[in-house]
Amino acid sequence: MKITLKSIGKRYNYEWIFRNLNSTFQSEKSYAILGPNGSGKSTMLQVIAGNIIPSTGEIFYFENENKIEPENFYKYISIAAPYLELPEEMTLEELLHFHSGFKKFYQNLSIPNIIQLSGFERSVSRQIKHYSSGMKQRAKLLLAIFSETSVLLLDEPTTNLDEQGVLWWKNLMNQFTKNRLVIIASNIEREYEACDEKILIGDYK
């Protein structure tokens, strides 16, 4: 998988969030989009995902040198972000079954396998609305990391996680992202310290 950005920019009214960004992201590598809160990291991640249309420039998506049309790119990505909502009336087990109807699980992992890896065995039948903020964040990360996708996009992935949760997340990343393209938007070193390349969004104002 390869994503190429050519002179990408995004503005709201007269304010540029970022502009003149040229970069290429490739599989089997990890990238960090860095900057303080409010700098536009999440916006850039959403532009890369195809959820927000850039104000200038073009984005090209390729799989094995075959071009992917932007409207079909959603099939290749999974994303976790604090601002994404979960269907809180569902239990985790129901959510995993529901999610599997849209995207297969990574390396054909079964739902019992995923539940075991989640550490939620005692909470699997509890409605998500009764989960703590940290447990909800774990559920979002589970759905993203265990989806069978070539591209994994993570926005501030350790939000609301305690120290044990951060170690859990790092372990999953080490096990299940080696052959994927990973892009992390962050301003916390523990989230991006292992990334191969870093993009400072402040360089594109």
Question: DSSP label at 26?
Answer: E
The domain limits of the chain are 2-204
Q: How many angstroms separate the CA atoms of 54 and 60, rounded?
A: 12
Give 166-180 pLDDT, tens digit per residue.
Answer: 999 999 999 999 889
Give 52-99 pLDDT, tens digit per residue.
Answer: 999 999 999 999 889 999 999 999 999 999 999 999 999 999 999 999
Residue 137 burial (C-beta neighbours within 10 Å; 0-12, 13-18, 19+): buried
Inform me whether the pLDDT recorded for 108 exceeds 90: no
pTM of the model: 0.94
Inform me whether the pLDDT recorded for 47 exceeds 90: yes
Give 128-159 pLDDT, tens digit per residue.
Answer: 999 999 999 999 999 999 999 999 999 999 99
Task: Please state which CATH class domain 2-204 belongs to.
Answer: alpha beta
